Amino acid sequence: MKGPNGLGKPVRRVVIAGGGTAGWMAAACIAKVLGKRLDIKLVESDEIGTVGVGEATIPTLLNFHHLLEINEQEFMAETKATFKLGISFENWRNVNEDYIHSFGLTGTDHWTAGFQHFWHKGRERGLAGDYGDYCLELRAAQENKFAHLPQNGRNFGMNYAYHLDASAYARYLRRFSERFGVERVEGKIVDVTASALTGHIRSITLDSGVDIEGDLFIDCTGFRGLLIGQALGVEYEDWSEWLFNDSAAALQTASVGDAIPLTRSIAHPFGWQWRIPLQHRVGNGIVFSSRYVAEDEAIQALLGNVEGEALMKPRVIKFTPGQRKQVWKGNVVAVGLSSGFLEPIESTSIHLIQRSIIRLMQMFPTNGIAQTDIDEFNRQAAMEVEHIRDFIILHYKVNNRIDAPYWMDARNMAVPKSLQHRIDLFRETGRVFRIPNELFAENSWIQVMLGQGIMPLRHHQTADLMGDEELSHFLGGIKGQVDRTVAGLPPHQAYVERYCAAP
């Protein structure tokens, strides 16, 4: 029912269904930013538990923590976190061929042509090293080093993210949220009551018989999508024609050496395997397509390729790659796995959680829910995830592997036009343009396109204006600065130990 302002009723009672990473991130942010005006309850079920994975992040998480005024040392100590400078892609382009997609810039910003054009000219003239030689984060990762480097008085001189213990992170955010007034309710949601008139959800019922009423519901129930899918019937768009993986097996092992500041992503003939080094253990898992391999075989491949003693039995997780057709419907906003999931490569899911929460803050329906806000929210969410989808498909589409049908089929598949255009443009001209508001910047696209095996045919004419001596001086200057900085960095493991010892 609409009020005199054309809106629904004011929102005072927020109910968050589910307490995984999504639920507690939502609770923490809403409570910190708007807590004084709202009554916030979070319902979770210890019996059901969380998906228990999602331990690699990207640098945008620092912005989220900045907003929450989280103390980094305390957060890292409590979540047993390490620093992450990028992802090592092993056997992806071809068996025994590796590359790193790192955070940060490669080379310098140039106003007419990107650094890749100068590097490309340098390669042709025999004056340039590997593309990664000009990236501080990549070189530091290769040397297993890390430090916070000051830039403009802030600690963002080196672009980094974290590897973190997902369960410890949820616990950490729970304590944070409770300090800001969030009430946690333990129990299993067994029923949902909606208004026959508006279709809005009125309350959820727990197995204890307790009803919890709300004005706005945030569905963080994971793959179940209890409110958005089961109660409101919002359909799911299936993207498995481009993203073949639909299963994973996760396994935690004891650490056997120093934690490296890289997520390792090791390709197999039917998928890929992750290794995420934390302070106290290593997170491992294998992501695969059930169309190409039997579950047992995938698990054996995982077990045969971990270091350190297994701390649990492998846990299988099934998923459908894709996205809800609407992530906000009526008075339900889906955040996290309930809204969709592509696959773990490139660690974008926690980022998307954070983006949904920030977007909700920007459009928070304090004075009532407006359909225009819902439409805009859904439009932005769809666009954002489609860009990420294209970037992820790129990793599969462009490969030179001839050893397995999985990789050959990926190479031969038709991809979205938006992606095909970017691949063609880069191959022919070396040009890449970031679409406004898309997550991955030019340097990410370039690193992955080069890494997966596309070498542009040409470079921008600006690079030709430089003679060999000038170009050599230009490239050498950048490389020299990167090398000197890396030489002065401490080992990553020692830095983490020192940093987390004194929160």
Cβ nearer to ligand FAD, comparing 53 with 450: 53
CA dihedral (286, 289, 293, 294) positive or negative: positive
In the complex, minimum distance from the CB of residue 70 to ligand FAD, in angstroms, rounded to a whole number: 17
Q: Is 201 in the site for ligand FAD (CB under 6 A)?
A: no
Per-residue tokens: 48? 């059901």
3-state secondary structure of 317: strand
C-alpha 1/C-alpha 117 separation (Å) is 58
How many C-beta atoms lie closer than 10 Å to residue 377's C-beta?
19
In the complex, minimum distance from the CB of residue 214 to ligand FAD, in angstroms, rounded to a whole number: 14
Cβ nearer to ligand FAD, comparing 10 with 52: 52
List C-alpha distances in Å: 250 to 55, 167, 436: 11, 14, 35
Q: Is 43 in the site for ligand FAD (CB under 6 A)?
A: yes
Cβ nearer to ligand FAD, comparing 166 with 432: 166
Please list every residue from 288 through 347 that binds ligand FAD, using CB under 6 A.
Answer: 317, 319, 336-338, 344, 347
End-to-end CA distance of the chain: 51
How many C-beta atoms lie closer than 10 Å to residue 418's C-beta?
13
Q: Is 44 in the site for ligand FAD (CB under 6 A)?
A: yes
| Cβ burial, residue 8 (10 Å; 0-12/13-18/19+) | buried
Q: Is 273 in the site for ligand FAD (CB under 6 A)?
A: no
Annotated catalytic, 2?
Answer: no
Q: Give the number of residues in contact with ligand FAD, rule: CB under 6 A.
A: 39
Please list every residue from 71 through 130 that binds ligand FAD, using CB under 6 A.
Answer: none
Residue in the structure block whose two tokens are 């968050």: 16
Q: Is 224 in the site for ligand FAD (CB under 6 A)?
A: yes
Cβ nearer to ligand FAD, comparing 107 with 344: 344
In the complex, minimum distance from the CB of residue 260 to ligand FAD, in angstroms, rounded to a whole number: 15
C-alpha 154/C-alpha 403 separation (Å) is 47
| CA angle (343, 349, 350) in 5-degree steps | 150
C-alpha 284/C-alpha 275 separation (Å) is 5
What binding mask, one character per residue, do residues 370-399 give for ligand FAD by CB under 6 A, x or -?
------------------------------
Q: Is 350 in the site for ligand FAD (CB under 6 A)?
A: yes
In the complex, minimum distance from the CB of residue 419 to ligand FAD, in angstroms, rounded to a whole number: 21
**DSSP secondary structure letter of residue 230:** I
Per-residue tokens: 258? 């120093």
Cβ nearer to ligand FAD, comparing 77 with 337: 337
- Candidates 48-56, 126-134, 302-310, 370-378: pick the segment binding ligand FAD (CB under 6 A): 48-56
In the complex, minimum distance from the CB of residue 255 to ligand FAD, in angstroms, rounded to a whole number: 18
Among 5, 8, 22, CA closest to 360: 22
What's the chain's Rg over C-alpha atoms? 23
Q: Which of 41, 80, 84, 121 is catalytic?
A: 84
3-state secondary structure of 273: strand
Q: Is 136 in the site for ligand FAD (CB under 6 A)?
A: no
Q: Is 45 in the site for ligand FAD (CB under 6 A)?
A: yes
Per-residue tokens: 321? 């790659």
Residues noted as catalytic: 84
List contacts with ligand FAD (CB under 6 A). 18-23, 43-45, 48-51, 53-57, 166, 188-189, 220-222, 224, 226, 248, 285, 287, 317, 319, 336-338, 344, 347, 349-350, 353
